[in-house]
Every structure is written in structure tokens, then in C-alpha cells.
Amino acid sequence: MESEAKPPFPPFTYESATKKVKAAQDAWNTKDPQTVQFAYTPDSIWRNRDTFIQGREEIVKFLTKKWDKENGYRLRKELFAFTDNRIAVQFWYEWHDETGQWWRTYGLEDWTFAENGLMRKRQMSGNDVCISDNERWFKDDVDVNTVSIDEKHW
């Protein structure tokens, strides 16, 4: 839809790119696919590891399946780099599977934005690392915005 818009808009500055990254982090931490889909153009294309997705309907299906599997999901994103209409992000999140096993996923994303501030392309590469409960960074009393990557774990 041409009337849709999601500021901040490209071209990005350091401040506006950082704001866009934090908005994405906050949206994904809702674990609500119906909300998250509206950050993307209706025909947005994704590569998420080995999965290729196009359009909001597929985004909702993908995210619904993801968050049905990834229990206790908590995400942190940080700005890595930016240009006029592109942002690169490093991220890490923790989740546990149906057996209670905890995982930390590390990765990078490459985002391309339309003029209206909606993301039209998202490419994600990530790796899952098995962790114990005492290795978790995201506990109930920890704000995701305060957790930084520890170089020995990256």
C-alpha cells in the first residue's frame, strides 16, 4: 500500500539507523507475527538461513511457526553498518525447545528499505549454539538492551 509508512525513512543517519534497529528489536520481542508483518512491504522478500519467503502472508506463517518452536524467545539487535537505504545488524537471541534445552542464536542481517521506511528485503544468516540454563544472558530480571556481546562468546 502506498499510504503505508514507517519512520524513520531513508536515507539513514547513525541516529535514525539505530532507532530503526531498536524498533525492530522491540517488535520481534512481542513475538506477534500480525504486528511484525507491518514493518515490511507487502511484497517483501526474505532469506532466513535456507528458507526463502515473499510477502506478508508468508512472513506471518514463518514467524508463527518460528515462535511456536522457540519458547522463551528474547532478542537483542545492534547496528553493524548502514548506508542510504540499507542497514546491517548483528543479533543474538535465546530460546528453549520443547525439551527445555536452551539455545543461543547468533547472526547477521542485511536489510534494504523502501522510501516509505518499510523493509523490502531481509537476509539473515545465523547459527544456533546449545547452552545451559546458567549460561543464559537473558533472564527475567535482565533488560535485553543491557546485554552486550562478550567477545569470547562471539
**Residue 146 and residue 138: Cα distance in Å, rounded?**
10
Residue 111: inside a domain: yes
**What is the domain count for the chain?**
1
Its domain, for residue 98, covers: 16-137
Q: Check whether 154 has a pLDDT greater than 50.
A: no
Q: Give the pLDDT confidence of 47-72 residue by residue, as tens digits.
A: 999 999 999 999 999 999 999 999 99
Put simply, whether the predicted model's pTM sits higher than 0.85 gets the answer yes
Domain membership flag for residue 11: no
- Position 150 in a domain: no
Q: Looking at the domain assignment, is residue 4 inside a domain?
A: no
Identify whether 84 is part of a domain.
yes
d(CA 93, CA 22): 14
Instruction: Report the alpha-carbon distance of residue 52 to residue 122 in Å, rounded.
Output: 10
Classify residue 63: in a domain, yes or no: yes
Q: Is the peptide bond before 8 cis (omega within 30 degrees of 0)?
A: yes
Which stretch of 10-19, 41-50, 80-89, 140-149 has the lowest confidence by average pLDDT? 140-149
In a domain, 122, yes or no: yes
Q: Tell me the average pLDDT across 126-139.
A: 94
pLDDT digits (tens, 9 = 90+) for 33-47: 999 999 999 999 999
